[in-house]
Amino acid sequence: MRRLHGLEPFNRTWAEYKSGFGKLLGEFWLGNEVVRQLTSRLSYTLHVQYNRVDGIQNRAIYETFTLGRERDGYRLHLGRRKHPFYDGLDGRLAAYPLHLCSNCTFWTSDKKHRCTKLAGGWWRPNYKDNCRAGATDVNVLDHSTASEKKTSVTKVVMKIRPTTFKRGE
């Protein structure tokens, strides 16, 4: 998944997130079913990078990553974080900490969810306390309140690779 500048609309249906959309050289979502099939055959590592509007780059690397089946809502399973997900300035957790979404199901705007004001698709807990605008929404790259503007996300990239991958081979 790559979200760079907001030109590709991410407010899509369940079917579109299932099969994927966009252009691989630009912004895209690979497809939940493709990723599920990949991660069900081999062990994968997930690398997530978020760039904030203030220039801070946040990243996290999860030792293992899988998606559950469609009938289970493409439930996200994350292993231990290999790289801390802090912003490096004041030690606070970075915006969009994905580990909070581990064991969550995937939701889109055409599926019922308590966070009805959120658009796009993402893994969301099924409780109302986590429904801040933009909190877990890759379709919204800018938060709605002025106090959150400094941590607004301008870029999100998720990459996977087999855990057996060795550099230089």
In Å, how far from its chain's centre is CA 142? 15
Q: In angstroms, what CA-CA distances link 75 with 26, 105, 136, 153?
A: 26, 4, 15, 24
Q: Indicate the range of 22-26, 62-66, 138-142 predicted with least confidence.
A: 138-142
For a pLDDT cut of 90, what percent of the chain falls above it?
Answer: 30
Report pLDDT for 71.
94
The whole-model pTM stands at 0.77
Confidence of residue 136 (pLDDT cuts 50, 70, 90): very low
Report pLDDT for 117.
58
Three-state secondary-structure class, residue 166:
coil
Phi (first) and psi of residue 105, to 5 degrees:
-95, 160
What confidence tens digit (pLDDT) does each residue in 6-23 have?
A: 888 888 899 999 999 999
Q: In angstroms, what CA-CA distances link 108 with 158, 159, 166?
A: 18, 21, 35
Q: What angle do CA 28, 125, 106 make, to 5 degrees?
A: 35
What confidence tens digit (pLDDT) does each residue in 35-45 have?
A: 999 999 999 99
Ordered domains of the chain (ranges, CATH): 2-162 (3.90.215.10)
